[in-house]
Amino acid sequence: MSDRIICPCKGLHGEIMIPGDKSISHRSIMLGALALGTTEITNFLEGADCLSTIGCFQSMGIQIDRTPEKIIVHGKGMHGLSAPKDILNVGNSGTTTRLMSGILSAQDFTSVMSGDASLNSRPMGRVITPLTQMGAHITSVNGDLCAPLKIEPGMLHGIDYTSPVASAQVKSAILLAGLYADGETSVTEPALSRNHTELMLKSFGADITSTVNPDGTATAHVKPCQELYGQSICVPGDISSAAYFIAAGLLTLDSELLVKNVGINKTRAGFLEVCRNMGADITLVNESLEGGEPRADILVRTSKLHGTTIEGALIPTLIDEIPMIAVMAACAEGTTIIKDAAELKVKETNRIDTTTEALRSMGADITPTDDGMIIQGGHALHGAKINSYLDHRIAMAFAIAALSADGDTIIHDSQCVDVSYPEFFEILDGCR
C-alpha cells in the first residue's frame, strides 16, 4: 500500500511532544468502562489499537465521548457491560484481546473476539490456560489457541498462577478476571513486566498489591472487587514512541532534541538504561509524577555509541524497543548481544526475523539467535527497501535507521505506524 521514502539527514533540532502511552490508554478505557461514574482521559493515544478498544466497549453499551481535548468514558460499573451484537473487532491489538479476555470471562453473556491476520495468529493459549483454571469458558474457534476466541459465561475462582512468561498482557488478563473471582488471585511472573494495570487498578479503588520477590520473580495479588470508581487520567507520553526520536537524536550528526512528556515508569524505562550503557548523552529534565506514573522531558544529543549486552529482567522493560535498539547497535562500535528475548517471536511479527531481514538489507552484521540477536556494529548503513510486514515498530525503527544511511530508504506499508503513532512521519519531517 503506502511506501514512504526516507532521505538521510543530520542536524535534527527542536522539541517533540510525545503522544499518549498505548498501554495506559487501553487500560484507561477498560477500567473507565467498568467503573461507576465518568473517567476523563487527557493525552489519550488516538492510535488504531486504542481505537479498537474503544470500539469494543462501545459495542458493549459503553458511551465514550471523544473531544479534541479529552475522552470521556461513561462507566456502568463492574456488571454494566451488555452483550455485543456482533463479533468484537480487536484489529491488530494484542493488548485489547488479552486484557479483554479477562474481563469477558466474567460477563454473563457470550462474546467472540477476532482481529486481523497478524492478531489472529498470535498465541492466546497464554491467557486461555490461566483463565480456564479460574473457571472461564474460553475457546479458540479454530482450535489453534489463537483468536477468534469465543467466551461464554463462567463463575470465576481465585487462583495462584505462575506464568512462564513475563507478560503484562497475561498478568493483566488474570488480574482483571480476579476482580470478579470468589477469592484472592495472585500472578507470579519470572520478572516484573509493565505495572500500569496494578497502578491504575489501585487508583480506581481496587485492593491490589505487588512485590518483587528476593529471587527476582514478581507477584501481584488482587482481591475480588465490588466497584471501581471513575478517575481523571492524564496519560504520559509513550516511551516506546519516544524511543524513535531519542535514537534519531543520538544517531544523526549535529543533533539536539528535547523529547517532551515521556512516561519513565521503571517497568518501561529499560531503553533509557540501555542508551546510557551504550554511552548516550541523554539528560532527564522536568521530572514529575501523576497518577503514580513518573514522567520527564528527555534532552538528547548526538552520541558515539558502543555495544552492550541486554538480558534477563531488563528485557520486559524494553521489549517493544528492541528493533530500535538493534538499529542503534548496528551504528555503534563493537558487539551488542540481546538474549532472553524469545517473546520477540510472538509480537506483531516475529521481530527476531523481521529485524534481522531489515538490518541485513541495510548492510549490517546481525546474527539471529533462538532468543535474541548478536550485532557487530560499525558497518555503515546503506539505503534499502524495507518490508515492514505491517509491523508498526519495524516501520518506525527503520525510518530512523534511514536517517543515518548513505542513500534513500523506502519503507513499504508505512501506514502501519497508525497502530501506535499516527503522526510519526509528520513529526519526523518537522524536526529535519
Distance CA 242, CA 260 (A): 8
**289-304 core/surface letters (b: 16 or more CB in 10 A; e: else):** eebebbbbbbbbebbe
Question: Is position 295 annotated in a ligand binding site?
Answer: no
Question: Is position 23 annotated in a ligand binding site?
Answer: yes
Nearer to ligand S3P, 123 or 205 (CB): 123
Nearest approach, Cβ of residue 162 and ligand S3P (Å): 16
Nearer to ligand S3P, 293 or 343 (CB): 343
Site for ligand S3P contains 52 (CB under 6 A): no
Distance CA 183, CA 18 (A): 40
Q: How many Cβ atoms from other residues are within 10 Å of residue 108's Cβ?
A: 11
Select the span of 164-172, 245-253, 295-303, 352-360 touching ligand S3P (CB under 6 A).
Answer: 164-172
Distance CA 256, CA 245 (A): 10
**Closest CB to ligand S3P: residue number:** 23
Is the separation of the CB atoms in 358 and 398 below 8 Å?
A: yes
Nearer to ligand S3P, 12 or 176 (CB): 176
Question: Is position 167 annotated in a ligand binding site?
Answer: yes
Nearest approach, Cβ of residue 99 and ligand S3P (Å): 7
Point out which residues pair with 386 in neighbouring strands: 411
Nearer to ligand S3P, 241 or 404 (CB): 241
Residues 411, 416, 418: CA angle, nearest 5 degrees = 125
The enclosing H or E element of 94 equals helix 94-104
Residues 347, 350, 354: CA angle, nearest 5 degrees = 120
Distance CA 188, CA 210 (A): 10
Binding mask 301-340 for ligand S3P (x = CB under 6 A): ------------------xx--------------------
Nearer to ligand S3P, 198 or 343 (CB): 343
Question: Is position 178 annotated in a ligand binding site?
Answer: no
Site size for ligand S3P (CB under 6 A): 11
Question: Is position 125 annotated in a ligand binding site?
Answer: no
Q: Which amino acid is present at 390?
A: L
- Strands 160-162, 185-189: pairing is parallel
Question: Is position 232 annotated in a ligand binding site?
Answer: no
Site for ligand S3P contains 95 (CB under 6 A): yes
Q: How far is CA 412 from CA 2, 392, 432, in A?
A: 6, 11, 21
The enclosing H or E element of 293 equals strand 293-301
Nearest approach, Cβ of residue 363 and ligand S3P (Å): 28
Cell numbers for 69 = 481535548
Question: Is position 94 annotated in a ligand binding site?
Answer: yes
Using CB under 6 A, pick the residue from 4, 12, 23, 269 that binds ligand S3P.
Answer: 23
Distance CA 50, CA 161 (A): 28
Helices (H), 267-388: 270-277, 322-331, 351-361
Question: How many alpha carbons lie under 13 Å from residue 412 in its C-beta half-sphere?
Answer: 9
Nearest approach, Cβ of residue 183 and ligand S3P (Å): 25
- Strands 293-301, 281-290: pairing is antiparallel
Identify the active-site residue in 320, 391, 413, 418: 320
Site for ligand S3P contains 391 (CB under 6 A): no
What is the secondary structure of 106-122 as a DSSP string? Answer: TSSS-EEEEE-TTGGGS
Binding mask 167-196 for ligand S3P (x = CB under 6 A): xxx--x--------------------xx--
Please report the sign of the dihedral spanned by the C-alpha atoms of residue 53, residue 97, residue 386, residue 273. positive
Nearer to ligand S3P, 169 or 252 (CB): 169
Distance CA 139, CA 325 (A): 37
Phi, psi of 38 (to 5 degrees): -95, 150
- State yes or no: is 320 an active-site residue: yes
Nearer to ligand S3P, 195 or 308 (CB): 195
Nearest approach, Cβ of residue 358 and ligand S3P (Å): 19
Q: Which residues are annotated as a binding site?
A: 22-23, 27, 94, 122, 167, 169, 320, 347, 351, 393
Q: Which residues are annotated as a binding site for 3-phosphoshikimate?
A: 22-23, 27, 167, 169, 320, 347
Q: Which are the catalytic amino acids?
A: 320
Q: Which residues are annotated as a binding site for phosphoenolpyruvate?
A: 22, 94, 122, 169, 351, 393
Q: Which residues bind ligand S3P (CB under 6 A)?
A: 23, 95, 167-169, 172, 193-194, 319-320, 343
